[in-house]
Structure 1
Amino acid sequence: MAGGGGADGRVNEHGQLADKAITSVMWSAAQRWVVRIAGFVTILILTRLLSPQDFGTVAIATSMLPIVNVLADMGFSSYIMQASHVDRRMLSTAFWFTTAAGVVLAGGLFLSAPVIALIFNISDVSGVVRGLVPAVLLVTASTVPMSLLRRRMRFRALAAQSICAALVGQAAAVALALMGFGVWALIAQTVLNQLVTFVFCWFSARWIPRLSFSLAEFKAMSTFGIKVVSVEIVGVGRSLAENAIIVAALGPAGLGYLNIAQRLIQVVQDVSAAAIVPVSTVVFAQVRGEADRLRSAYSRSLSMGYGVIIPVMIVIALVSPIILPAFFGQVWVPSVAASQVLAVASIFVTGALIDYGLLYGVGKPGMWLIYATAIDGLTILSAALTARFGLVSWALGFLVVAIVATIVRWALVAHVLAVRWQSVASPFFRAMATAAVSGALGYAAYVLSQPLGPVACVVLTGTAVLLAQFGAMFVIMRATFREVVRLVSQRLPIVSKSTTNWTQRLSRTVSVRERAASSDSVEKDM
């Protein structure tokens, strides 16, 4: 107990990291639930006040922001989060560079607004782009304090600031939309969100930059960061190309319909499996020097991600024909089929999020760059071939690319973890087996409950999918099931004593069954 150098010290250290990671995941999940649910309510209101053209115009303008932010950041935020050691000289160097770059790029964005409008052949885009320039300055000035909070796993503070920022921005958007400001309501939402985030993150980080700049530190960060920037540029380029293709084939309204379908999926994804990603990236960075712990952390993150996302996306795929028109209005019916296909594709994308965190956590962004360039190129090709046939064709093409990308990543991750590719693929196949069970029972519940009305149909379908997934995980994904049960029994004080005792007994039962059965193949190799 007194020392930290022996086996007991390492066990204690490992236990503390796991405990901190679990707490961080829960805060991250709570933040996403509050922000996304509030945002979902806001979208319900805004879709009845604004037109599909308004959403399409803003989607084009906001698609420019990531590339500007990425160029200003230069990958320094990722470097700070995964670095073995940070000091004030490094942090000050990162701050002064990102701030200066943000000013230059914001000015460039302001001047290039007419060119962007000309490219998309939509005159209104120019004013919208210029209205978003303050958001660029605020994001880049927040880079270092945000990175410090993530590195320290201060996800409670991050959750608080994210919730406040989202609520302020959303309230302003609704108020301005009601007053007839149109697309400017969405612009104000983005800018105010970043302003509140800026204030909170600087207050929480309690860090002040020095008037110093180290060329040596800059070179070290740039060597790592240029690979990160390249990945992000490729991703933003793919997004811009897809938007241009869809606008050319289906017009701004088509992009607006797709935007709503994507927002629905993003909301659901963010409040479920995506909460694991920011925490797992930091954990991967902290255990990358210990092969067994890294493999174990990856296996648990991937299995938990699949276990959480599958039932949620299956429910969305089944009940989209009910919830989209009911929430957003009949004008958004063309978004339904695309959202159903994207819900299925999101299951595959969850694996990509975990793998992205792994490669960045172990300091291999260059490897991810090669992968991302190939897959994003394939995505653009798919969009060019399918968009002219409609949103559903585009979404199906995206699904095919997501499947191909998943297979490619098995080999990539297997190389990084020094295991067989079958071991990396094993959690996916187990997860798909549970998806087949919950999907089949959910579809049966959806069909049988339709005569009872839309509300009953949604409730019964969701219940059937969740129960089926719970049972399937008990049989097929025992280790993940036990982990979920442990989290519920240990981390949720609102759970009653009887429920806690039941979950603990169930967890012990699963443990006995696991010792009697053969271990999961991924755990054998990892």
Structure 2
Amino acid sequence: MQAMNRKIGVGVLWNLASLFLTRGAGTIFMLFLARFLAPEAFGLVAMATVVFELANAFINSGLGAALIRSKDVSEADLNTVFYTNLLLSLVAYAALFTGAPYITAFYSQPELTPLIQVMGLVVFINAAKVVQTAVLSRKMDFKTRMKANTLSVVVSGCLAVAAAWSGWGVWSLVVQMLSSALISALVLWLVSQWRPALQFSTESFSRLFSFGRNLLAEGLLSVLYQNSYVLVIGRFFSAELTGLYFLAKKVSNLIAQQLTGAVQGATFPALSTLQDDNAALRHKYRQIMQLMMFLIAPIMGLLAGLSPVLFELMFDERWAAAVPYLQLLCVVGALYPLHALNINLLNVKGRSDLVLKVGFVKKAVNLTLLFLAIPFGVIGIVISQVIGTFLALIPNTYFSARLVGYSLFDQIKDVVKPLAAAGFAGISAWWVAQLEMPFLILSLLFAGVAGLLIYILASVLLRAEGARMIWLKVNDRLTKKFGKKAYGGQ
């Protein structure tokens, strides 16, 4: 178990390093682009992104995850997945290219046709790196993936800013997406030792697809659901409102989904070795859940409280209307680890069939709420997303209780303390930010520090388990470094 903790810890650290380098750089470039571009430009790209991400789900879901989870992988398995993904990507791109005019008619946005046809190339580029990524994940070589991701984000961001500066408008965002995918794929191919051979095994395809098909279906449902809000807003409202929602969603996802994804990516290969030991798996997942909520909840709470000052400081007045969207989406983000880690648990247990069932139920509920909210405008749609997030906890945790005994009630007990502390912190930060200050940056600084101190104090008073885990880890490290005498020992 000690070796397992160390293995997971190293993987998480590299994934987090990749997160902060790539997403941090990506955020900076996004801020620059938002200063140059109007919300309408982001809205058009968001509309186009819906369809090409749906096509991208064919190659990112299913077979790649099946390779990572498999205990033993042969060359035949790798080659089969590689050529299958290439074929699927060609079919998907052909569908995007020919279907672009119809998608344009759906949105009533003539500018979308060339955008979709060019952006769709990302699908083919991503297909070429699925196996390379899976091989590195199996080796838990997150350092190499970090280098590839960091380089692609920095170079593509610079190219996009240069394009926006030169007046390319919405096409600067297309430049960013294409160059990022291409550079990442090239770097992975340069550093990886695996190369495809002319080999295809029907046995490998059948075995891997038996697991991957459910993840493929779940991936398609997830992409359709996750982008359904952009799709509906783009269809029934303006490109400007779509862009405002898209930016708010992008900022909220930056923390919750990416941080959780970093932990999932690092823990999935290691925890798969515990799939037959329910007690050990439940114990490890409780630790991960408590720690993730302790880290993510305060970030989302503070982001919600500080968002008015942040937007005033970073963007011009065109983006101010996105603030209430972001504040509501922070609630969704705070609960995201609960949803993601429960789904990850089902994947570790090899029950991709249950992943599909859970996904179908919660998406049906949330889509129903979405369409009922259309008459209430974009703010009503975002509120429906918050309501759906709470309701989705029921199906998401049902099978976790059945498989490993980790019930909804147990999970609520594990997360309620950091959520309560984060709520106090967010409200405190918002209140301090309202005080008169000579500079906005001072308001942001004082409000952020005040909110963080409130969170730490509330966590200690509530005896949050995540705080105890971090303290024990820090205390153990310091004890090893300085000896017992530093802590009053012998």
TM tier, shorter chain?
over 0.9
Structure 1: distance between partners of 2:14 and 2:475? 17
Tell me how far 1:463 sits from its aligned partner.
1.4
Structure 1: distance between partners of 2:204 and 2:463? 45
Match of residue 100, structure 2, among 113, 133, 156: 113
Tell me how far 1:485 sits from its aligned partner.
3.3
In the alignment, what sits opposite 1:416?
A: 403
Counterpart amino acid of residue 395 in structure 2: V
1:494-517: CA deviations, max 9, x gaps?
xxx7997699988x99xxxxxxxx
In the alignment, what sits opposite 1:460?
A: 446
Tell me how far 1:310 sits from its aligned partner.
1.1
Is residue 339–residue 393 contact of structure 2 (8 Å, CA) maintained in 1? yes
Pair 1:294 & 2:315 matched: no
Tell me how far 1:440 sits from its aligned partner.
4.7
Is residue 284–residue 362 contact of structure 1 (8 Å, CA) maintained in 2? no
Tell me how far 1:109 sits from its aligned partner.
1.5
Match of residue 353, structure 1, among 324, 330, 340: 340
In the alignment, what sits opposite 1:375?
A: 362
Q: How does 1:4-19 map to 2 (within 5 A)?
A: 14-19=1-6
In the alignment, what sits opposite 2:328?
A: 341
Counterpart amino acid of residue 391 in structure 2: V
- SS, match of residue 180 in structure 1: coil
Match of residue 466, structure 2, among 473, 480, 495: 480
Structure 2 CA distance for partners of 1:445 and 1:142, relative to 1, 3 Å = same
- SS, match of residue 63 in structure 1: helix
Structure 1: distance between partners of 2:409 and 2:119? 46
Structure 2: distance between partners of 1:351 and 1:460? 31
Tell me how far 1:98 sits from its aligned partner.
0.9
Match of residue 203, structure 2, among 216, 235, 238: 216
Structure 2: distance between partners of 1:213 and 1:464? 59
Match of residue 471, structure 1, among 457, 478, 482: 457
Is residue 78–residue 360 contact of structure 1 (8 Å, CA) maintained in 2? no
In the alignment, what sits opposite 1:267?
A: 254
Counterpart amino acid of residue 172 in structure 2: A
Counterpart amino acid of residue 55 in structure 1: F
Q: CA RMSD in A?
A: 2.5
Is residue 328–residue 386 contact of structure 2 (8 Å, CA) maintained in 1? yes
Is residue 59–residue 130 contact of structure 2 (8 Å, CA) maintained in 1? no
1:474-494: CA deviations, max 9, x gaps?
343454223323555678xxx
Structure 2 CA distance for partners of 1:57 and 1:504, relative to 1, 3 Å = farther
- SS, match of residue 182 in structure 1: coil
Is residue 238–residue 377 contact of structure 1 (8 Å, CA) maintained in 2? no
Structure 2: distance between partners of 1:180 and 1:164? 25
Is residue 81–residue 282 contact of structure 1 (8 Å, CA) maintained in 2? yes
Q: How does 1:70-109 map to 2 (within 5 A)?
A: 70-73=57-60, 75-109=62-96
Tell me how far 1:470 sits from its aligned partner.
2.2
Tell me how far 1:435 sits from its aligned partner.
2.6
Counterpart amino acid of residue 169 in structure 1: S
Q: How many positions carry a matched residue from both structures?
A: 489
Tell me how far 1:211 sits from its aligned partner.
1.6
Is residue 303–residue 426 contact of structure 2 (8 Å, CA) maintained in 1? no
Counterpart amino acid of residue 67 in structure 1: L
Counterpart amino acid of residue 124 in structure 2: L
Structure 1: distance between partners of 2:473 and 2:193? 32
Structure 1: distance between partners of 2:466 and 2:191? 34
Is residue 230–residue 242 contact of structure 2 (8 Å, CA) maintained in 1? yes
Structure 1: distance between partners of 2:420 and 2:156? 41
Structure 1: distance between partners of 2:156 and 2:354? 37
Tell me how far 1:191 sits from its aligned partner.
0.9
In the alignment, what sits opposite 1:327?
A: 314
Tell me how far 1:419 sits from its aligned partner.
4.4
Is residue 260–residue 340 contact of structure 2 (8 Å, CA) maintained in 1? no
Is residue 173–residue 188 contact of structure 1 (8 Å, CA) maintained in 2? yes
1:131-181: CA deviations, max 9, x gaps?
113211110111111011112211111111110010111111011111111
Is residue 110–residue 130 contact of structure 1 (8 Å, CA) maintained in 2? yes
Match of residue 137, structure 2, among 131, 145, 150: 150
In the alignment, what sits opposite 1:163?
A: 150
Q: Could you tell me which runs of 5 or more consecutive residues in structure 1 were left unpaired when the two chains were aligned.
A: 1-13, 492-496, 510-526
Counterpart amino acid of residue 315 in structure 2: F
Structure 2 CA distance for partners of 1:143 and 1:490, relative to 1, 3 Å = farther
Structure 2 CA distance for partners of 1:431 and 1:67, relative to 1, 3 Å = same
Structure 2: distance between partners of 1:505 and 1:274? 37
1:350-372: CA deviations, max 9, x gaps?
21121122111221121121111
Structure 2: distance between partners of 1:457 and 1:24? 37
Structure of higher RCO (CA pairs closer than 8 Å, 6+ residues apart): 2
Q: Could you tell me which runs of 5 or more consecutive residues in structure 2 were left unpaired when the two chains were aligned.
A: none
In the alignment, what sits opposite 1:61?
A: 48
**TM superposition score normalised by structure 1:** 0.87
Tell me how far 1:293 sits from its aligned partner.
1.9
Is residue 46–residue 246 contact of structure 2 (8 Å, CA) maintained in 1? yes
Is residue 474–residue 481 contact of structure 1 (8 Å, CA) maintained in 2? yes
Tell me how far 1:420 sits from its aligned partner.
4.4
In the alignment, what sits opposite 2:188?
A: 201
Tell me how far 1:277 sits from its aligned partner.
2.2
Tell me how far 1:452 sits from its aligned partner.
5.5
Match of residue 243, structure 2, among 256, 279, 287: 256
Pair 1:303 & 2:281 matched: no
Is residue 36–residue 270 contact of structure 1 (8 Å, CA) maintained in 2? no
Instruction: Tell me whether 161-170 or 132-141 shows the greater mean CA deviation.
Output: 132-141
Aligned residues: percent identity?
20
Tell me how far 1:325 sits from its aligned partner.
2.7
Counterpart amino acid of residue 411 in structure 1: Y
Structure 2: distance between partners of 1:499 and 1:274? 31
Match of residue 125, structure 2, among 125, 129, 138: 138
Structure 1: distance between partners of 2:376 and 2:339? 27
In the alignment, what sits opposite 2:412?
A: 425
Is residue 386–residue 394 contact of structure 1 (8 Å, CA) maintained in 2? yes
Match of residue 277, structure 1, among 241, 245, 264: 264
In the alignment, what sits opposite 1:9?
A: none
